[in-house]
Chains A and B, each alone.
Chain A
Amino acid sequence: MQQLKKFITNKYLIFLYGTIFVILLWWIISLIFNTTIVPDPISTFRLAGEYLTEAYTYKSIGKSLLRLVIGFSIAFVIAFVLGLIVNDNEKMYHFFTPLMTFFKAIPTAALVFLFIVLSNQENSPILAVVVIAIPILYEAVVAGLKSCSNEMLDAAKIDGANKISRLLKIQLPNSYSYIVVGLLSAFSLSFKVEIMGEVISGSTESGLGSLIKGMQSSDPSNMEPIFAYSLIAVVLMLLITIITHYLNERIKKSR
């Protein structure tokens, strides 16, 4: 009985129950709104499966991920540098606060339109990712660097460690978990923003967002392809989350 209870309440099984619940909810909604507007899960999964046999789908996934990685990497470098600048410097922190608030508050769609004008349709999703990810990563770096206890830093100072040594050997290793959490939450948001950027930019170059927009333009009355490509994006994001979570656990264990 105890073993049965343990099995039923196993976290992976509960995750599975939650997934089934989402699919059931989706199916009920498709019945209420009729399947022309909200396609049912079965036909969506079937169509997604068909799309996954096409080389173009993988080309598009690759293109979207490439733009995401480029934008995210640029954002991380900028956020990290800014985080280092404001480390132990309250005045600089306050100086950059309005800029970060601006980045957080500006509507993403407005950003994409602006970047289309400043740059081009191809690059506008990358730039949108940069602007969206910077404040999240910046706060993660700042919080991580601040999390180190003052006693530890004072002790290191007394022992003769300079600022750079304290940063490299104490602050950065201690801020690792903060930065990783920030990376994970910024990454999944950036992926959504990147796809949205492709949709708004209207570019028909390969990309998941371009595929979604293209299918919508090609047959506006058929929502099935849009749902199918969105499902592929969701599954992809889930896979990335699982992989990064696994890698994070491995790195933690090795430290």
Chain B
Amino acid sequence: MLVGCGGSDNTSTVSSSESTSIPTSTSTSLSTSSSKTTSTSTSKISSSEISTSVSTSIPASESTSASTSVPISRPDLKIIAPTGAPSIGLYGFASSSGFETNSVPANIIPSMKNGEKDVVILPTNAGINAIVKQNAPFKIAATITYGNVFVAKTGSDADGIMNEGDSIAILQKSNLPGLLFKSVYGEELYNSAIEVDASGAAYCLKTGKTLNNVAVDYVLIAEPAFTKVKGSDVSSYEYANIQKEYFKKYSLDIFQASVFVNNSTEKSKIDAFLNCLAEDIALGIANPTLIKEGMEVKEKPEVFFGTDPSNVYAATNNGNRLGLGYKAAKDNKEGIDNFLSLFGIDATTEEIYYK
């Protein structure tokens, strides 16, 4: 179980211009022999390996202090995250009493508005709206999930190609999953598709039909639900990785869930938090057992994190299908703005970026 974070010389030599493994644009697997404890695993990661495959963008102000061999202790902050992929990246903070989750992301926004939390994880669009339109006293610091949506095939389509005439079920048509599908595959397929919720999508993939008994050829579904339904067979049922398709079309990542930090919280604590988080995510992608064990610190992890640790392990071990990663927001303003344009949100200003 990770207690402190950082710690070895090698970890501290990461430069701030690099970024963590993102499923679409870089290799997701680390060529390391990472083990359970932080200090051991980081000491086995050479800086050259980090720079080519996975690396951590550490806030500049911390890079000097991180170059010592003293472990950076996890700061005691009040953190809130929505259940699902966004909270999984914070597995290293599971034992912290200040870390809470909520299964309804919209209910997190009031705690952002009234500034009662030090760190808030939210869908990027929701967080930016809270800052810009509701004057929430926060800045965007980093993005930690990059999409976890896939098109799965039920096997009933004769030609095996998703096109006009096929029956498609889309998860949350008017939210991010549906908007991503539309931007990749166009309005025609999007408009003709059936909308389903999370339980409906899982049911469609399991049975090949909707709850109303309509046969379905393709299902837009998120991880880890996809892995939960299909288990080790998930790859053979995958028709498309939306994240990869989006990147192919636009050369851009999906800046799905981001870290927002309170303007009043001590900068050193925020920097230490971001440092720990970046490292946790990098280590977790390299060794999903760490994530599973981190989650299992909680008494009922499937309630706290909104998903079973075994499913998370399976999905992360199979090519980081949860889309975990870490990128500093200030270095990716253009990508964030392009992502926000999916929701009709105007380009952001420099002031809302944490530096």
Q: Contact: A121 with B303, CB < 8 Å?
A: no
Residues of A within 8 A of B104 (CB): 200-202
B interface list, Cβ under 8 A from A? 83-84, 100-104, 107, 110-111, 116, 197-200, 202-203, 206-207, 211, 225, 228-229, 299-300, 302-304, 306-308
Cβ-defined contact, B199 with A218, below 8 A: no
Does A67 interact with chain B (Cβ within 8 Å)?
no
Which of A36, A205, A221 has its CB near the most chain B CB atoms (within 10 A)? A221
A: which residues have CB within 8 A of B? 36-37, 55-56, 59, 113, 116-117, 120-121, 200-206, 210-211, 213-221
CA distance A202 to B100 in the complex (A): 11
- Of the candidates B103, B111, B229, the one whose C-beta lies within 8 Å of that of A213 is B103
- Write out the residue numbers on chain A whose beta carbons fall within 8 Å of the beta carbon of B229: 221
Contact of B203 among A113, A203, A214, A221 (CB under 8 A): A221
On whether the beta carbons of B83 and A204 are closer than 8 Å, the reply is yes
Once the chains are docked, how many angstroms separate the CA of A204 from the CA of B84? 12
- In the complex, what residues of A have CB within 8 A of residue B306's CB? 204, 214, 217-218
CA distance A59 to B298 in the complex (A): 14
| Residues of chain A lying within 8 A (CB to CB) of residue B299 | 55-56, 59
A117/B110 in contact, CB under 8 A: yes
Residues of A within 8 A of B110 (CB): 116-117, 120
**Nearest Cβ distance between residue B340 and chain A, in whole angstroms?**
24
B107 close to A218 (CB less than 8 A) = no
Residues in B whose Cβ lies below 8 Å from that of A204: 83, 100-103, 303-304, 306
Q: Which A-B residue pairs are the 8 nearest by beta carbons?
A: A214-B303, A220-B199, A202-B104, A221-B202, A220-B198, A218-B302, A202-B103, A217-B306
How many angstroms between the C-alpha atoms of A67 and B197 in the bound complex? 31
Return chain B residues, CB-CB under 8 Å to A213.
103
Q: For B308, give its contact among A37, A56, A113, A219 (CB under 8 Å).
A: A219
Cβ distance A196 to chain B, nearest Cβ, rounded Å: 13
**In the complex, A156→B350 CA distance in Å?**
78
User: B303 touches which one: A113, A116, A218, A221 (CB < 8 A)?
Assistant: A218
A29 CB, nearest partner CB in chain B, Å:
15
B107 near A201 (CB under 8 angstroms)? Answer: yes
A94 CA / B113 CA spacing, docked (Å): 39
Question: Given A36-B203, A37-B211, A202-B102 in contact, is the A219-B228 Cβ separation under 8 Å?
Answer: yes
| 25 A–B contacts, CB within 8 A, in A order | A36-B207, A37-B211, A55-B299, A117-B110, A120-B110, A120-B111, A121-B102, A201-B102, A201-B104, A202-B107, A204-B83, A204-B100, A206-B300, A210-B303, A211-B300, A211-B303, A214-B103, A214-B302, A217-B84, A218-B306, A220-B197, A220-B199, A220-B202, A220-B225, A221-B203
A116 touches B203 (CB 8 A): no
Of B84, B200, B303, chain A has the most CB atoms within 10 Å of the CB of B303
B84 proximity list for chain A (CB < 8 A): 217
Q: What would 7 more interface pairs be, CB under 8 Å, given A213-B103, A218-B306, A220-B225?
A: A200-B104, A204-B303, A217-B84, A219-B308, A220-B202, A221-B225, A221-B229
Shortest A163–chain B CB gap in Å is: 45
Q: How far is the CA of A200 from the CA of B203 in the complex (A)?
A: 23
A214 touches B102 (CB 8 A): no
> Taking the nearest CB of chain B, how far is it from the CB of A95, in angstroms?
33
Residue from the list A116, A120, A215 in contact with B302, Cβ < 8 A:
A215
| A223 and chain B: residue at smallest CB distance | B199
Residues of A within 8 A of B200 (CB): 220
Are A205 and B100 within 8 A (Cβ)?
yes
> Bound state CA distance, A205 and B304, in angstroms?
8
Q: Distance in Å from the Cβ of A203 to the closest Cβ of chain B?
A: 6
**Interfacial chain B residues near A116, Cβ < 8 Å:** 107, 110
Question: Which partner residue on chain A sits nearest B304 by CB separation?
Answer: A204
Asked whether, in the complex, the Cβ of A217 is within 8 Å of the Cβ of B103, the reply is yes
B102 adjacent to A203 (CB under 8 Å):
yes
- Chain B residues, CB < 8 A from A203: 100, 102
- Distance A13 CA – B247 CA, assembled complex (angstroms): 67
